[in-house]
Amino acid sequence: MGQTSGRQERSKKPEVAPREVMEAEIEIQNNKDETKEVKAKNQKLTSVFGLADLKNEAIGLYNLGQSCCLNSLLQVFLMNIRFTRILRRITVPSSPAQRRSSVPYQMLLLLEKMQCGKCKAVGPTELACCLSEHRVELFVQHDAAQLFLTLWNLLKKQMKKPELVEELCDLYTICIQEHVACQKCSFEVKSKSTMLTLPLPVLDANSHRLKTLSMKLVHLPQTLTLHLKRFCFERSSRTHKLSHSLPFPQELDLRQVLTESQCQAEDSEKATWQYELFAVVAHSGSASCGHYCAYIRSLTDCKWYCFNDSEVCQVSWDDVKCTYGHSNLYWRETAYLLFYMKKHPQQPWPGVSECL
């Protein structure tokens, strides 16, 4: 990249904690008796602030073995002030077994470890063990869009307070209007549904670059997630990665991007459709073998950082733009998930959680 921002090359392999060490840590942790210190920590967690709430220092996450996708998504979650404000208000499970299997609680413990630790990186061992109890495979290649959906669903399912579920839904879910029309008559059925990410195919059915969005939007969340569908199936049933260039802006006003027929929202809703880019989850490599990292703009110092497992460094916007993609260089980093934040969020939109 050649930037003077201090970005480190991707050529060196990320630090990997041996599987045996991880399993030993999990076994030791599970066998420990609950002590007074643990009880005190559980009480303290009710007032924990998010990483981005209190300090600018960015902390990395050790790679546990093909966990770069998980690490990148965790950083995107925990650097989002609006998400951590929800997370720190969860109900702490009462028993040790319930705490070990609670994804929100284990994510909160990881957040505290990242805040309180003096190391450049910490290991998400306990959270990874918790996810494995919920049939999330470890030590395998994951698709970032699918894993993001899995993590979000586990968080939503295990948050006991209805008001937190409502806030989580309003923070991330997109409401669209679907049309089903009869081909023989003019009868038409309209229904609303929700999704977590807005899928944007890089190419259309004729292998041409896509220029328009073919759906009608009713409500957009505070954190809008765009899924650039860079992986497609070939006739040989093999998955192929599309590395075509697809520029994305730092600021996005959807009122200027979408046509009037694509906006099925009230004027007060559309007035909030101005966004700023918050994070980019990028993928390098091929469809069968690759690596994920995350570029995130700190909400406290407004600087961009690259989170590459345990390595974290400040980068420039030019570094982020290098993830636009290039059709002849498919091994290079390409943006896969884009996270935009509303500039002027309104009050929670009624009825979002009921649509899920």
For the annotated catalytic residues, the residue numbers are 68, 291
| Numbers of helices and strands, H then E, in the chain | 13, 15
Distance CA 224, CA 250 (A): 13
Distance CA 109, CA 41 (A): 9
Residue given tokens 């969340």 in the structure block: 221
Q: Is 42 helix (H, G, I), strand (E, B) or coil?
A: helix
Amino acid at 133: E
Asked whether the beta carbons of 295 and 315 are under 8 A apart, the reply is: yes
Asked whether the beta carbons of 117 and 124 are under 8 A apart, the reply is: no
DSSP 183-242: SSSS-EEEEEEEESSEEEESB-TTSPBP-S--SEEEE--SEEEEEEE-EEE-TTS-EEE-
Residue given tokens 């994951």 in the structure block: 142
Token pair, residue 138, equals 């470890």
Strand order across the beta sheet in which 174-181 lies: 188-195, 174-181, 216-219
What Rg value do the Cα atoms of the chain yield, rounded? 21
Asked whether the beta carbons of 115 and 51 are under 8 A apart, the reply is: yes
Distance CA 99, CA 115 (A): 20
Asked whether the beta carbons of 336 and 144 are under 8 A apart, the reply is: yes
Half-sphere exposure of 312 (CA within 13 A, CB side): 24
Token pair, residue 280, equals 């980019």
Distance CA 351, CA 200 (A): 25
Asked whether the beta carbons of 106 and 130 are under 8 A apart, the reply is: yes
